[in-house]
Amino acid sequence: MSGKNGKMTLTTKILVYMIAGLITGMAINSFAAGLGFVQTYLVDGAFHVLGTMFIKSLTMLVVPLVFCSLIGGIVAMNDIRTLGRTGGKAFGIFMGTTGVAITFGLFLAISLGIGEGFDLSVSGGSAFAAQEAPPFTDVVINFMPNNILGAMAQGEMLQIIMACMFIGIAIVKSGEKGEGVAKGIASFNHVMMDLVHIVMSLAPYGVFCLIAKTFAEQGVGMIIPMIGYFLTVVAALIFHFIGTFSGIFFMAGLNPLIFMKKMRSTLLFAFSTASSNAAIPVNMEAAETRLGVDNSVASFVIPFGATINMNGTAIMQGVATVFIANAYAIDLTFVDYLTVISMSILASIGTAGVPGVGLIMLAMVFTQVGLPVEGIALIIGVDRLLDMLRTAVNVTGDAATTCVVAKSEGKLDLEMYNDPDAGSLGSKIDLKKDDVITAHVD
């Protein structure tokens, strides 16, 4: 796939370098796993350093980009009721699709009977030490930051979103006196977008290093003993990706095929990085410049979704619950399965922003239905590869919900959405006079 000037597009570059990284990693795992200098200087050296630096360069952009975009979006709405309505719709879709995801994961795993007769010796006696999840009341209290700069420094996304909402509302309420602040934030937002373009030009090389390191360490050897679990999760993720998201697009009167095509670059990036937060800048740009979502919606829904939307993680939880129950010959009742569904939906909010969120959520679910938490050790070996797929599904859910909410609010440019050539990942956005956001009295 080449651009109009005959050069390879960024999407194609990322795909080519991803495949090259996969081949390189598999070759190292198969033929050079025992060579110390390869592991020291290549896998744990160049691949690790360059890949980690690339991830850090993106996460460096997240907080200032979200801060500027979200405040600008709230000011552009110029209506507190619109903000509440947008947030309510997004939250409802996120929770609904999460419920569908885990229900289907449970159904598929039960139907296939995965884990029955499983040889527990494949775990090698390893153990899993679960982090303690914070009480839900503490999570709700912690929505409100006691130090805005501290929340930014720690990357506490829910606290940042809350602070931005208050600042944005205050700018709107301040009328003409707030216009200077709004213009400054809008200008800085464009600077941040230019920085995103610079960092994304390095994406193919960062993706190569990340994929090469992952497959050099994992190979296919870890998958074989867990093939049933692995393939069941993958199948459920694919079905949810195609079926659920297509369903909400059809209900919204949008063509899902156009959406999937325009999201290719973002999905490749999300798969490579396995980080929803790192994908925020890329996802926001795709939503605004390729899918036609107004900044006032994209700047709020995408960071919000990256924090609480965990469709892919919910699927993993459903499949893992059935797998571990069967592996330990523990019978779960219908009430237990309902508990798993409700716990996963609540945990997607309650563990937001906590490191190792997927496994923490799974430990919470296991504890609630009486499954041994140490059983998580059985699935850790393949979790890294599945995490990459889960992230791609989560990021897709963020963008899909953004489009649907924008359409319902009249904030979706249908002409741009339906135009197959509209925008491209890393495309240049010019700062025009009409782009400057100004505040008005409510």
| pLDDT for 270 | 85
| Partners of 8 in the β-ladder | 2
Most distant CA pair in the chain: distance in Å?
70
Tokens 């795992």: give the residue.
29
Closest CA to 278 of 55, 90, 1: 55
Is the CB of residue 49 less than 8 Å from the CB of residue 166?
no
Closest CA to 417 of 255, 191, 284: 255
263 φ, ψ to 5°?
Answer: -95, 5
Closest CA to 71 of 423, 398, 344, 438: 438
As a whole number of angstroms, the distance between CA 259 and CA 263 comes to 6
Q: Which tokens hold the place of 317?
A: 């939880």
204 φ, ψ to 5°?
Answer: -55, -40
Is the CB of residue 155 less than 8 Å from the CB of residue 364?
no
Residue 115, CA atoms < 13 Å, CB-side half-sphere: 26
Overall fold of domain 10-426: Proton glutamate symport protein (1.10.3860)
| pLDDT for 93 | 93
**Per-residue confidence in pLDDT tens, the chain, 442 aa:** 555 555 677 777 888 888 898 899 888 888 887 788 888 888 889 999 998 898 888 788 878 887 887 888 788 777 777 778 888 899 999 989 998 999 999 999 999 888 876 655 444 444 545 555 566 677 678 778 888 888 888 877 778 888 888 898 898 888 888 888 988 988 888 888 788 778 878 888 988 998 888 888 876 665 666 788 889 999 999 999 999 999 999 999 999 999 998 998 888 888 887 778 788 888 988 999 899 999 889 988 998 888 788 888 889 889 999 998 888 888 888 888 888 888 777 766 655 544 456 666 777 788 778 888 777 777 776 777 788 888 899 999 999 999 999 999 999 999 999 988 776 555 444 433 344 333 333 3
2 φ, ψ to 5°?
Answer: -125, 155
As a whole number of angstroms, the distance between CA 153 and CA 149 comes to 6
| pLDDT for 432 | 38
* Angle between helices 48-77 and 157-173 in degrees, nearest 10: 30
The H-or-E segment that residue 49 falls in is helix 48-77
Is the CB of residue 73 less than 8 Å from the CB of residue 83?
no
Closest CA to 420 of 292, 297, 299: 292
383 C-beta neighbours (distance < 10 Å), count: 20
Closest CA to 194 of 429, 25, 382: 429
| pLDDT for 3 | 53
Q: Which tokens hold the place of 63?
A: 């907080």
Is the CB of residue 348 less than 8 Å from the CB of residue 98?
yes
| pLDDT for 82 | 79
| Complete DSSP assignment for 345-365 | HHHHHHTTT-TTHHHHHHHHH
DSSP state of 433: G
